[in-house]
Amino acid sequence: MLTARHPAIALGRPALPSAAALTIKALGTFCSLLVTEPALLVPAKQILSGELATIDLACSRFRADSELSALNRSSGHLVAVSETLARAVQVALWAAEATGGDVDPTCGRSLITLGYDKDFSELASDTSALAEPPVPAAGWRCVDFDQVNRTVRVPPGVLLDLGATAKALAADRAASAIWAQLGTGVLVNLGGDIAIAGPAHEGGWRIGVDDGVTSAEHPHCVAASAGGLATSCPSVRSWRRGDRHLHHILVPSTGQPAESHWAAVSVAAATCVDANAASTAAIVRGRAAEQWLNDLRVPARLVTPGGRVVTTAGWPR
C-alpha cells in the first residue's frame, strides 16, 4: 500500500507484490515511482528524473535561473517562453478559471508577504514577525498569455507562483511519458499528487489516503486504476512567523491562508491536474466545498479537523 502524502515504500514493501518501487526527493518534496514491470524501474526513473528537472527549471519560484523567475523579473514586458512553461501557465490559468479564481497563479507576492520567500525546507529558520500586512493576489485575468505564439506578459509588480498546478502537471507528464516510452503500467506520487498511466494490476493500485486525522498505520484506502488523485492538506506546508501559524493555501482575494474548515480534501479525477485544482479550491471554499463538489459530480473525501468525514459524488467506501 502507498499513501497519498508519504513515500510509497514507507512500509518497506512495494504497493503490490509484482510491482517495483523507489522514492527520490524532487521539487521540494518526495516523489515515489511504481511500475508494474520491475525490469523497467531504472529506465522509468531516468524518464521521471528528466521530466522533473525540466519542470523545475521552467517553473520554480525559488531558482534564480528558472524561466519563471525571469518572467517575474520582466517588468511588464512580453516574454517568449518554452513549451514547458507555456503549458504550465496554460494549466494554471485553466485551474483559475475552472475554480472561479480560488486557485490563482498571481499569488506569488501574497506568499512572499507571508514569509514563504524561500524553499519550504528553509522556512523554519525564520520565526520573526511579518514585516508587511497580507497582500491580495493581483487576479489571474491580468496575465496576458498567447498560447499560439507562446508569449506571456505579467504586469509590473505581479509575481506568478505556479506551485501546486505545476507539481500536478509534472506527475501527469512523467506518468504519461513512462507509459508511452516503456509500455509499463506506472504510478507517480509527487508529494501527494498522484498520476496513473497504463494498465494497473487487477483491482488497481491500493492507495492509503493519509488525511492527518486517521491513523497512519490504518489509513483510509481506495483502489485506483487510472487518472489522478490529489490530497490538499493545509498542515503539510505550514510555518510560524511571530505569533501567527500560517499555511500555503491562500484565499486570493485576501492574501490570507484559508480558514481550516477542512483538515484535508482528497479528490479523484481524470488527471492529477484536475484533482489538484479541485482539492485546493475545496480548502479555499471551506464549508461550501461539499455542495460545489457534489454539483460538479467530483468524487472527493473531506475531513474536518475533528475527524468527521464527508464524501461526494460516489467516493468509494
- Can you give the pTM of this predicted structure? 0.90
Domain membership of residue 225 (yes or no) is yes
Q: What is the CATH number of the domain that holds 127?
A: 3.10.520.10
With b meaning 16 or more CB within 10 Å and e meaning fewer, what string describes 65-82? ebbbbebbeeeeeebebe
Sole residue written with cell 467516493: 315
Q: What is the pLDDT of residues 229-241, one digit of tens each?
A: 999 988 777 767 7
Quick one: cell of 217? 498505520
Is position 317 within any domain?
no
Q: What is the pLDDT of residues 271-291, one digit of tens each?
A: 999 999 999 999 999 999 999
Distances (CA, A) of 112 to 185, 246, 258, 302: 39, 12, 16, 28
Q: Which domain holds residue 121?
A: 2-312
Distances (CA, A) of 12 to 6, 21, 39: 12, 10, 19
Considering the domain boundaries, does residue 256 fall inside one? yes
Cα–Cα distance for residue pair 254/246, rounded to 1 Å: 14
Residue 202's pLDDT band, with cuts at 50, 70 and 90, is confident
User: Domain total for the chain?
Assistant: 1
